[in-house]
Amino acid sequence: MKSPSSSSQITKPWVEFMLTEYEKKKAPQTSVTVKSYTIRNATKPGESFNAELILLDVKALISDGGRPEDTPEEKEYNLIVKFLTEDPFSCELIKRCGYHIKELMMYSEVVNELNDFQAVHANDEFRLDLPQFIYGKCTEKEYVLVMENIKVLGYETNPKKEGLDFQHAKLAVNHIARLHAVSYAYDKSHSFLEKYPCFQFSNAISTFFKPVVWASLANSITFLKSKKTYEDMVYKLETGKTTLPVKFAAMWDDQTRHKFLCLTHGDFWNSNLMFKHRTATQDGEKSIESLKLIDWQISQWNNPVFDLHYLLNTSTSFEMRRDHAEEILRHYHTTFTEATTKMGTPVPNWNYEQFKAEFERTSLVGFLMGMCLIQGTLSKAGENINHGGSTCLTHTCCRPCKVVIDKIKAGMAKVVISFAFKPSSSYIMRASVKKVLSPIGRELVEGNNEILNGRLLDLLMEADEKGVLDVLTL
C-alpha cells in the first residue's frame, strides 16, 4: 500500500495496514481493525524545520486469524509519525545527504543489530535505548517513519532554556558512551560500514555549517561590540572570521587525524534526550529513571568526542561545565573503556589523559557548534525563521495552484542545493545565510533575551579563557 507523504493523506486503510504489518512481526496471522483514530501536530510552529511530526492515537481491535472463535482484543496505540518536511529546499537537502535513510535504518535495523551484539558479548549491560520502531518505508517517492510516542509513557525533554544539570548530563554521556563503544566493538568483527554504507562519513555537514559559522560569528561580533568591554575578544574573532569556518571544516573532515572512529549521534543535545523521572520526593526532587535518545538523522561514522563537545557546549550552563565537566568526561571515558574491554576490543593507547588530549585538540569544533546552536535554538528570532506560517495556497480552493507551485519549488530546490555543494558558491551561501540569521544578531544587541545573551556570552568568555580563540590569530 502506498504510504502517505503528509498528515493530510493519512487514511484508515493505511493505519490498519501499517499496524497489521507491525503486529504480524509478533503473530503472523494477526489483523488490525481500526475503530477510531485522531491526528494532532506533535510540535509547535518553529520547533521543527526538517520534518513534519504527527501524533497518531488509535483505538483498534486485534484479531488472531488462526483462531476465529476468539474475541478480538481491544488495544490503543500512541504513535509518532514522521514525514519529510514540505519545504522543498530542506527536503532536497535531507535527501541529498541521506539523513532520512539513516534515521529509518537506526530504528528498523541498526539498533537491533548492535543490541543483539552487546547482549552476546557484554551480557546486555550496554543496551541502546530508543523509542520502539513500529513501521517505516523509504523509496524514491515515499518516506514515513512510525515510532511509539514515549511521552505517553512519561518521557519528556528537559527545558532547553534551563540546560542539563549534572545528573542529567552524566546519564546522557553514559548512553552516548554505550553507542560509541558498542559500534566500535561491533565494527572490529562485522565491518559496520560494509553492512550499513549510508552511515559513511560525509562532509555535507561541514559544507553547510561553514556559512552558518560565519553568520553566527558575525552576530557574536556585533553582540560583543554593543557591550563595549570586550575589545580583545572582538579583535580575535574579527581577525579569524575569514579562516574560522575553514579551520572548522579541516578539523571536522580530516578523519586521518582522529584517534579512532565509531557511530556517532551527530545532533546530541538537550532536545534529543527524553528522560523519564520517578515520582518526586517530599522535598520536590525527581530522580531519573531512564533515558531514550531520539532524532538520528545526522548520525554517521565519525570522531566520538564531537558528540561530547556538542552536548556540553549547546546544552549546559557555564556553571555546570565549571563544576562538573571533568567528572562528566571521566564518567564517559570509564563507561566507554569498560564496555570496549568487556566486549574484547579495548582501544589501544586510550587512557584518560590521551582521551582528554583529543578532546582539547578538537575544542574549537565544540565552541563553534555551541555558538551556532545557542543562537539558533534560544532566540525568538530563530523560531520565526523556522516557522514559515500559512499562506493563501493552503486553502482548499487553491490546491491546484499549490501543486503546480510546489513542483516548481522542488525543481528549483534541486538546482539550488546542487549549487550549494560547489566551492564556487561559498560567497553567495555566506551572504544568504547571514541575511537569514541577521534577526538573531539584532535580538542579541537589543538584550531582551537574557537567557540567550547570557549563555552566548558565557560560551565566548569561556572559550577565550581556555585559549580556544587564540588559534584565530595564528
Cα separation, 308 vs 329, in Å, equals: 8
* Residue 323 confidence (pLDDT): 97
- Residue 126: exposure state from Cβ atoms within 10 A (0-12, 13-18, ≥19): buried
What is the rounded average pLDDT of the residues 329-334?
A: 98
Radius of gyration for the alpha carbons in the chain, expressed in angstroms and rounded: 23
Q: Which three cell numbers mark 384?
A: 520565526
pLDDT tens digit sequence for 45-79: 555 557 899 999 999 999 986 655 668 889 999 99
At a CB cut-off of 8 Å and minimum separation 6, what does 293 contact?
A: 128, 129, 130, 175, 176, 179, 265, 268, 272, 273, 274
Q: Which three cell numbers mark 406?
A: 510546489
pLDDT tens digit sequence for 394-432: 343 333 433 333 444 455 555 556 656 676 677 777 788
* Residue 391 confidence (pLDDT): 39
Cα separation, 251 vs 259, in Å, equals: 13
Where on the phi/psi map is residue 332: left (φ > 0), alpha (ψ -120 to 50), or beta? alpha
CB-CB neighbours of 287 under 10 Å: 10
Higher pLDDT, 281 or 111: 111
Q: Is residue 227 over pLDDT 60?
A: yes
* Residue 408 confidence (pLDDT): 42
Looking at 218-222, 276-280, 452-456, which range is the least confident one? 276-280
Torsion sign across C-alpha atoms 131, 136, 138, 143: negative
Domains of the chain: 1-86 (no CATH), 151-385+416-473 (3.90.1200)
Q: Is residue 388 over pLDDT 60?
A: no
Q: Name the average pLDDT for the chain.
A: 87
pLDDT tens digit sequence for 283-317: 667 789 999 999 999 999 999 999 999 999 999 99
Where on the phi/psi map is residue 67: left (φ > 0), alpha (ψ -120 to 50), or beta? beta
Q: How far apart are the first and last CA of the chain?
A: 59
